[in-house]
């Protein structure tokens, strides 16, 4: 009876050891295997058999991680304080280094993304943050990727989500935009006046070369004024026209 119990217990222990030594890794997972505390190899995907009490395995997910960077207080190069948040896309490309070189690669990447965001944006002015966001995304991505390469991590993309300004700064930007619109309107008006003056100068030079044309223009103006009967208009009569009328009168007599 004791022998039967011992045999049954032995079989149970062996079955338990076999079950505990089997691991199944999905297609997107890898297992970093250690033997007696020393790195042995990276295994997976599929069925992985470990030696109980001798080998240990750490699972690593190879899928792209979407990490939200919380709002960071950034002081721009022109001394404007803003809050900026972003999102970082990265994945593990070397499971061995991701486990051995850094204690927690997710936390390490998050902290590094925050400091890099402040560092890169602090080198630019506010206008650049608002207008050149695509280039800033590239600069942050390259800086992060260079620093996480030793951890076996590839940063594929960084996107700045929001640049939050305080109310005082928003009003200042609105005033600046209004002043810019007024400046453009004045420039356009001045250019129109310049073009009109050039055309008037050309017309005056042409009329000066042809006195008859000047007289005809004068008469045309009188005709236009005469059409308005709402007021009385007193105007000088040029001597040339009087002379011309006198000649016509003498010719008729």
**CA distance to 27, 66, 200, 221, 239, per residue, from 210 (Å):** 93, 80, 15, 17, 16
Query: Max CA-CA distance within the chain?
Result: 163
pLDDT in tens, 15-68: 777 777 888 999 999 999 999 989 999 998 999 989 888 899 999 999 999 999
* pLDDT value, residue 179: 73
Is residue 116 a contact partner of residue 144, using CB atoms and an 8 Å limit? yes
* Residue 218: band (very low, low, confident or very high) from pLDDT cuts 50, 70, 90: low
Residues 148 and 110: their CA atoms lie apart, in Å, by 11
Q: With 60 as the cut, is the pLDDT of residue 251 above it?
A: no
Share of the chain above pLDDT 90, in %: 42
- Each domain of the chain, given as residue ranges in start order, spans 15-61, 65-165
Q: Which two tokens stand for residue 253?
A: 């007599």
* pLDDT value, residue 51: 87
Is residue 219 a contact partner of residue 235, using CB atoms and an 8 Å limit? no
Is residue 161 a contact partner of residue 87, using CB atoms and an 8 Å limit? yes
H-assigned helices in the chain = 2-20, 95-100, 105-121, 126-131, 133-148, 167-209, 211-226, 239-252
* pTM reported for the whole predicted model: 0.66
* pLDDT value, residue 164: 84
Q: What is the DSSP string of 28-46?
A: TEEEEEEETTEEEEEE-SE
Is residue 238 a contact partner of residue 215, using CB atoms and an 8 Å limit? yes
Domain 65-165 matching CATH 1.10.287.3510: the answer reads no
* Residue 1: band (very low, low, confident or very high) from pLDDT cuts 50, 70, 90: very low
- Chain-wide mean pLDDT for the chain? 82
pLDDT in tens, 149-204: 999 999 999 999 988 887 766 566 666 667 777 788 888 888 888 888 877 777 77
Computed from CA positions of residues 132, 137, 138, 143, in that sequence, does the dihedral angle turn out positive or negative?
positive
């Amino acid at each position: 009876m004791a022998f039967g119990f011992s045999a049954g217990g032995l079989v149970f222990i062996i079955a338990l050891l076999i079950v505990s030594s089997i691991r199944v890794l999905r297609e997107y997972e890898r297992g970093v295997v250690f033997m007696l505390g020393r790195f042995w190899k990276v295994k997976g995907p599929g069925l992985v058999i470990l030696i109980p009490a001798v080998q240990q395995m750490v699972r690593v997910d190879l899928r792209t991680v979407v990490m939200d960077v919380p709002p960071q207080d950034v002081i721009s190069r022109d001394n404007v304080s803003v809050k900026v948040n972003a999102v970082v896309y990265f994945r593990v490309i070397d499971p061995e280094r991701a486990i051995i070189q850094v204690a927690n690669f997710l936390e390490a990447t998050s902290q590094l993304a925050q400091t890099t965001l402040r560092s890169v944006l602090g080198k630019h002015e506010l206008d650049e943050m608002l207008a050149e966001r695509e280039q800033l995304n590239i600069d942050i991505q390259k800086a992060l990727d260079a620093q996480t390469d030793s951890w076996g991590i590839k940063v594929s993309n960084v996107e700045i989500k929001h640049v939050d300004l305080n109310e005082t700064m928003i009003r200042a930007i609105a005033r600046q935009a209004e002043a810019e619109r007024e400046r453009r309107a004045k420039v356009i008006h001045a250019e129109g006046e310049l073009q009109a003056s050039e055309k008037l100068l050309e017309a005056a030079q042409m009329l000066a070369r042809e006195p008859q044309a000047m007289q005809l223009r004068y008469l045309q103006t009188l005709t236009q004024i005469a059409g308005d009967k709402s007021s009385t208009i007193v105007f000088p009569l040029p001597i040339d026209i009087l002379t011309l009328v006198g000649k016509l009168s003498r010719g008729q007599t």
